[in-house]
Every structure is written in structure tokens, then in C-alpha cells.
């Protein structure tokens, strides 16, 4: 997909993405153009959180569902709006909250809060990740409750599942997160800034 164009008319939305039902909190603060589609916002969420984009997802905004329509006409859900045809600025503004669900099996629910809206900085790259805390859970760990159990086993060498989980999630550090790493993953999604 070709990059979008940031102009003087573009608004930059500051959005806090927080994984719900997970403690300690896992969150990101991103800066995104309001003219990006929800499909592009999905890519920003995936890259900034650290997910692998290997599962289904959908947005819920004002009781409307947005996602990727099933190409099979027999399976097409008429209530699902194509996320590629809806821009963020049409469905969200400062103060709004949106819901994003990733992985319908593990049910990773995210709350997206539009914290601010402002003009783009000349020459700045968007989208950007400017803050955050903790890595997202490993894919297929089983959802929020299973992740809590996973963390307990990982942190306790005496736990009966410690070795199995430590081997399965080799190298996973539940406290390690660098905003600069998340921001670097967003570089390929950069829009052209003509502002």
C-alpha cells in the first residue's frame, strides 16, 4: 500500500492503546494521521504493541463493527464494515474511546483513547510510538487469565510449569520495553510529510 500524504490540513491524533484486563499494564502512546484508514491503524497497533498479526481482529466504535470482510459471499457478515474504507478521523476525535479486539480465541481487548489532536510537526515522521510500558504477551499464550498464570510460573523457579513456559517463551522478559524499538517497527508505515 503506498504511503499516505500528510498536509497542513491533516490532524495528528495522539492515541493511548491499552491492553485491557492485563496487569501490570501494557500500553503504547502513538501519533497517527487522522486520515489513515482503520486498516492502517490496525497495522500501527500490531507493530507498536509487538503482535505478529497472525489472528483475526476487529474494531468496535459506537456499536458498529469494522474489520476485514470475508471474501466468501456465503460467509459475508453484513454488519461488519470494511475497515479499509473508513478513515480514523471520520469515527474518532479528541476524547473518544475505541475498542480493538485481536485474536478471537485469546480475546486480547484493547482500549484506544484519543488523548489529543494537533497539527503535524513539519518534517516529522508519522505514525510514531512515543511512549509505552511492557511488551505485549506472547502470541497464543491463552488470553488475559492464562497470561497471569504464565507470568506467575515464569517468575517462580519452583512453579511446576516454570521450565516449560521458560522454554516455550524463550527470551521473553515481561518488564522489557523500549519505545524506540516499537517506533522503529513503525518506520515502514511512514507517510510522506509535506506539511
Tens of pLDDT, residues 93-103 = 999 999 999 99
Digit-coded pLDDT (tens) for 164-195: 999 998 889 999 999 999 999 999 999 999 87
Q: pTM here?
A: 0.95
Integer Cα distance of 64 and 109 in angstroms: 16
- Whether CATH 3.10.290.30 fits 9-136+175-193: yes
pLDDT > 90? residue 85: yes
Digit-coded pLDDT (tens) for 48-65: 999 999 999 999 999 999
pLDDT > 90? residue 71: no
Q: From its phi and psi, is residue 63 left (phi > 0), alpha (psi between -120 and 50) or beta?
A: left
> pLDDT averaged over the chain?
94
Q: Give burial (CB, 10 Å; 0-12/13-18/19+) of 76.
A: exposed
181 to each of 21, 41, 65, 86, how far by Cα in Å?
24, 18, 31, 29
Amino acid at each position: 500500500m503506498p504511503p499516505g500524504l500528510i498536509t497542513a490540513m491533516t490532524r495528528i491524533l495522539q492515541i493511548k492503546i491499552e491492553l485491557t484486563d492485563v496487569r501490570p499494564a501494557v500500553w503504547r502512546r502513538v501519533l497517527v494521521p487522522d486520515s489513515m484508514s482503520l486498516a492502517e491503524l490496525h497495522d500501527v497497533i500490531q507493530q507498536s504493541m509487538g503482535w505478529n498479526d497472525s489472528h483475526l481482529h476487529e474494531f468496535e466504535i459506537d456499536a458498529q463493527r469494522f474489520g476485514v470482510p470475508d471474501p466468501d459471499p456465503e460467509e459475508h457478515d453484513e454488519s461488519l464494515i470494511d475497515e479499509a474504507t473508513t478513515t480514523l478521523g471520520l469515527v474518532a476525535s479528541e476524547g473518544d474511546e475505541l475498542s480493538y479486539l485481536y485474536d478471537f480465541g485469546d480475546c486480547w481487548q484493547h482500549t484506544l483513547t484519543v488523548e489529543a489532536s494537533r497539527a503535524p510537526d513539519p518534517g516529522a515522521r508519522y505514525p510514531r510510538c512515543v511512549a509505552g510500558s511492557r511488551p505485549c504477551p506472547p502470541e497464543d499464550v491463552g488470553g488475559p487469565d492464562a497470561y497471569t498464570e504464565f507470568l506467575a510460573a515464569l517468575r517462580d523457579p519452583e512453579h511446576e510449569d516454570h521450565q516449560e513456559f521458560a522454554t516455550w517463551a524463550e527470551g521473553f522478559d515481561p518488564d522489557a520495553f523500549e519505545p524506540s524499538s516499537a517506533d522503529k517497527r513503525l518506520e515502514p508505515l511512514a507517510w510522506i510529510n509535506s506539511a
